[in-house]
Amino acid sequence: MTQGTFPQKAMLLAAGLGTRMKPLTDHMPKPMVPVCGISLIDRVLDWMAASGVKDVVVNTHYMAPMLQAHLAGRAALPAIAISHEELLLETGGGIKKALPLLGERPFFSANSDTLCIDGGSPALSRLAQAWDDSRMDALLLLHPREKAIGYEGRGDFFFTDGKLRRRGDEDLAPYVFTGVQLISPRLFDASPDGAFSMNLLYNRTIAADGTLERIGALVHDGNWLHVGDPAGLAQAETWLRQQG
């Protein structure tokens, strides 16, 4: 993929058990939890389609028949393919299993329990414009921790002078990873089989100075809502209602 070319395919991670969203997830998969009347997964799929994504692979596991039936009932773009996991494969293993459906070119990936609200221009377009295939295997969308809605964590990364570094032993880091990224399939070269986290692939690029090599970053210029538990859901709904 050349710089500025917009990828047509994306991965949407939707296989998790949704444990932190109980009791809502006792009766439905987390991606189907409604936020102001529209399910999380529909909001993310509509956002991807509005950005120009044509094809999305959705992985399923927990209450898969219910989620698959819901997705089959969608009439709007994007086109959806299912990658079902009999056993949970985590983020890295889930994407690796879906690679045959995603093709040989860089593709987007996002989580189904976060909402990325675009700023001045679509975040996915900004990622595509910033992609440099000669020096990146992944490009992560970051968000300022203090501006994140529904997020109570300590942050994930420092990002200085174009270099990405993990929080490590620091108490706080200024940026949280949104879960939205642009990935080259080559990131999975020599990756393990079965279940593994994407963090395994990021961490194997850590250089002597502690920065991540071939993992780029871009700071989101819009809003980001983390809908990880009932409290985060309430905050997201309050924020969305305030926006009108």
Domains of the chain: 9-243 (3.90.550.10)
Instruction: Tell me the backbone φ, ψ of residue 89, rounded to 5 degrees.
Output: -110, 5
Question: What would the mean pLDDT of 6-34 be, rounded to a whole number?
Answer: 97
pLDDT band at 2 (very low <50, low <70, confident <90, very high): low
Tell me the two tokens of residue 39: 């399910």
Does the structure show a pLDDT above 80 at 110?
Answer: yes
Query: Does residue 58 surpass a pLDDT of 90?
Result: yes
Q: Among residues of the chain, what percentage have pLDDT more than 90?
A: 96
Supply the mean pLDDT for the chain.
Answer: 96
Whether residue 25 contacts residue 229, with contact meaning beta carbons closer than 8 Å, is answered with no
pLDDT recorded at residue 96: 98
Task: Answer for the pair 182, 107: CB distance below 8 angstroms, yes or no.
Answer: yes
Confidence of residue 209 (pLDDT cuts 50, 70, 90): confident
Q: How much of the chain exceeds pLDDT 70, in percent? A: 98
55 pLDDT tier (thresholds 50, 70, 90):
very high
The residues pairing with 141 across neighbouring beta strands, listed in sequence order, are 218
Please list the residues that pair with 56 across neighbouring strands: 10, 80
* Per-residue pLDDT at 5: 82
pLDDT at position 89 over 70: yes
- 160 has pLDDT over 90: yes
Closest CA to 95 of 38, 137, 147: 137
| pLDDT attached to residue 227 | 97
DSSP 8-state class, residue 61: -
Q: Which residue's structure tokens are 């959705």?
A: 58
**What pLDDT, on a 0 to 100 scale, did the predictor assign at position 3?**
58
Distance CA 61, CA 29 (A): 9
pLDDT at 244 over 80: no
The helix, strand and coil proportions of the chain, stated in percent and rounded to the nearest 5, come to 30, 25, 40
pLDDT category at 4 given cuts 50, 70, 90 is: low
- The answer to whether residue 1 scores a pLDDT higher than 80 is no
Could you give the CA distance from residue 157 to residue 203 in angstroms, rounded to a whole number? 12
C-alpha distances in Å from residue 146, one per residue of 20, 37, 123, 212, 232:
22, 27, 19, 23, 15
